[in-house]
Chains A and B, each alone.
Chain A
Amino acid sequence: MRTRNPNILGGALGFAWLLVILVPIYYIVITSVRPREDYFSSNPLSLPSEFTLEPFWFVLQNDFLRYFTNSVIVTVVTVLAVVISSLLASYVIVRSRTRLARFSQKLFLMGIAIPLQATIIPIYYLIVQLGLYDTLWALILPSVAFAIPVTVLILTNFLRDVPKELYESMTVDGASDWRMFRSLVLPLAKPAVVTVGIYDALQVWNGFLFPLVLTQSSEVRVLPLSLWAYQGEFTVNIPAVLAAVMLSALPILVLYIAGRRQLISGLTAGFSK
């Protein structure tokens, strides 16, 4: 795309989109530091009469940290379970020619084409029958299942690029499955595991439907649901609601600043190489 004269049309589009993106973000930021009284009287896009962190304290005093912790627990446990089980499965799918291995690959591929969210009703039934309704497990177990297809697909494509000779030489050395997995598959797959782990973590962190349907009490409330609940509880205290929105985005912002490249590759997972 190296042309000499500047692309004015492109620049105009780019600038217009920048405005579209920034106005709502600016609104979130500016409102979250606005005094409560100010909200009703002023132009919503003007600078506040004074900057205050009061909305943030208000949110933190309203159990924000508990919801945050719940989200962290659900995300960490889910991602660990997804990545470990998918990596084991991918290893077999890449290395084995048995009927079961080929069947599994087809099954997981099929799982990608299906909008699994539509199975929420039987999942609700299942979770109630298992006595897990309104627990963090109710969120973790289906989240693991839903994340497996994409994770397996990305990991198998990655492991397929590993030269066969590496596996064979270890087999010759008499390595067990476990040792092969630990000292060959795991270290080799590390970059793909990081990418797909970030992808899965974002899906779980942002998930709304499972918490909405499968939990009820505030003890097991996770962040996205808490935002919705705050909106109902705080009613007119919009600065506090938007402070909660800001706080919920904070971990991802930190990730973006610390490892922009990895976050982007995690977000787009295998969809662009």
Chain B
Amino acid sequence: MTAPQAPAASAPQENQEPPRAARPTRRRGGLRTAPSNWLLAPALSFFGVFAVLPLLGVVVLSFFAWDGLGTPTFAGLDAWFTVFQDPVTLNAMKLTLLMTLLCYAVQFPLSLLLGAFMAGHQRYREVFSVLYFLPLLFSAAAVGIAFKALLDPNFGISRAFGLDILKQDWLGSSNLAFYTLIMVISWSFVPFHSLLYQAGIRQIPASMYEAATLDGAGRVRQFFSVTLPQLKYTIVTSSTLMLVGSLTYFDLIFILTGGGPGNATRVLPLDMYLTGFRSYQMGPASVLAVILILVGVLMSLGLNKVSGSDAMESQMEGA
């Protein structure tokens, strides 16, 4: 019996074959090289019961009427008709699309440029990078609560410097609230994406920049012909996370505006929650959930197609 020592100890390479053939495996019929399928059981049961089952359940529930308390009763396509005839839902879809596009338009260039900035090895940039991280210490709930106080029209930033431009009802005005949310979302998510770009840019070999410099390429030219093409995988990963992630902005908006004023910030995830857990119409809420899931999956697939590969995978496999 060999002691359970480091496997590298059985190293003598030349005579590795004979013992393998010679040594009989007494325990089972043949030499097993693969582990038992039973080891999959814990992960599969957790995921099966609390992810796959709910995923099927949400489709089923979209054909039922249920108030969240009693027993669901079959209602055919009622919930689907309700949802697609409801102006609130159509508005929510429009808002979600607009928010996804605007958040992307703000976050993508900002994260990319900041990532490039943070990738520099100058001392002040490293100090700045340490501070840029700070928003990531706070949960979305904490960020929401803090900004709610900061943007309060009476006691918040509106009276900070005596500037008229700051004297706004940032979250209470239906024209402004939507754009305020985009600013807060960017504040809390750009730090994460700039970390991705920083890591991506630092992996680009310095020799490529040296060659570009020799060819007489200036800083801007280098950014567009070396940095950007080299960042392909990072850009796809970060864009997927940003775009699909924007379908799940819930906590921040829930805390900051609750969907209001009126329905001015009632995006799809919020519409789903409010329909389900405030109006107790679980059928229509499930329809909204199905829509969210479909849009999310289509978006992931679409981005994979655009990038020509499974971005998440290739990224993780170490591009």
A interface, CB within 8 angstroms of B: 1-3, 7, 10, 13-15, 17-18, 20-22, 24-25, 27-28, 31, 39-40, 43-45, 81, 84-86, 88-89, 91-93, 95-98, 100-101, 104, 107-109, 111-126, 141-142, 144-146, 148-149, 152-154, 157, 166-175, 177, 179-181, 183-184, 205-206, 208-209, 212-213, 223-225, 227-228, 230-231, 238, 241-242, 245, 248-249, 252-253, 256, 260, 264, 267-268, 270-273
Contacts and interface: CB of A to CB of B under 8 A. Distances in A.
A172 B10 contact: yes
Interface of chain A: mostly helix, strand, loop or mixed: helix
Interface stretch (B83-91, B155-163, B168-176): B155-163
Closest 8 CB pairs of A and B: A122-B57, A145-B50, A206-B139, A85-B42, A89-B43, A119-B54, A224-B141, A122-B54
A18 B125 CA distance: 11
A39 B139 CA distance: 24
Contacts of A21: 131-132, 134-135, 187, 191
Given A173-B2, A249-B142, A88 B43 contact: yes
Contact of B213 (A3, A18, A145, A213): A3
Nearest to A81: B46
Contact of B51 (A20, A145, A230, A267): A145
Given A88-B39, A88-B43, A253-B137, A171 B187 contact: no
Contact of B34 (A98, A249, A252, A264): A98
Given A118-B289, A271-B241, 19 more contacts: A7-B219, A15-B128, A17-B114, A21-B187, A21-B191, A22-B131, A113-B301, A114-B297, A119-B289, A121-B57, A126-B53, A149-B47, A166-B7, A172-B10, A179-B4, A208-B251, A227-B145, A272-B195, A272-B237
Nearest to B299: A113
Contacts of A116: 51, 54-55
A181 B42 CA distance: 15
Nearest to A188: B7
Interface in B294-319: 296-297, 300-301, 312-313, 315-319
B123 interface: no
B165 interface: no
Interface of B: 2, 4, 7-8, 10, 16, 19-20, 23, 25-27, 31-37, 39-40, 42-44, 46-47, 49-55, 57-58, 60-61, 68, 72, 110, 113-114, 116-117, 119-120, 125, 128, 130-142, 145-150, 155-157, 159-161, 187, 191-192, 195-196, 199-201, 203, 206, 209-210, 213, 219, 222, 234, 237-238, 241, 244, 247-248, 250-251, 254-255, 269, 272-273, 276-277, 282, 285-286, 289-290, 292-293, 296-297, 300-301, 312-313, 315-319
B125 A14 contact: yes
A13 B114 contact: yes
A89 B42 contact: yes
11 contacts: A39-B155, A45-B157, A45-B161, A88-B42, A89-B43, A117-B269, A206-B141, A209-B273, A242-B146, A273-B203, A273-B318
Contacts of B136: 252, 267
Contact of A148 (B31, B47, B57, B269): B47
Contacts of B37: 92, 96, 98, 100-101
A24 B277 CA distance: 32
Contacts of A109: 313
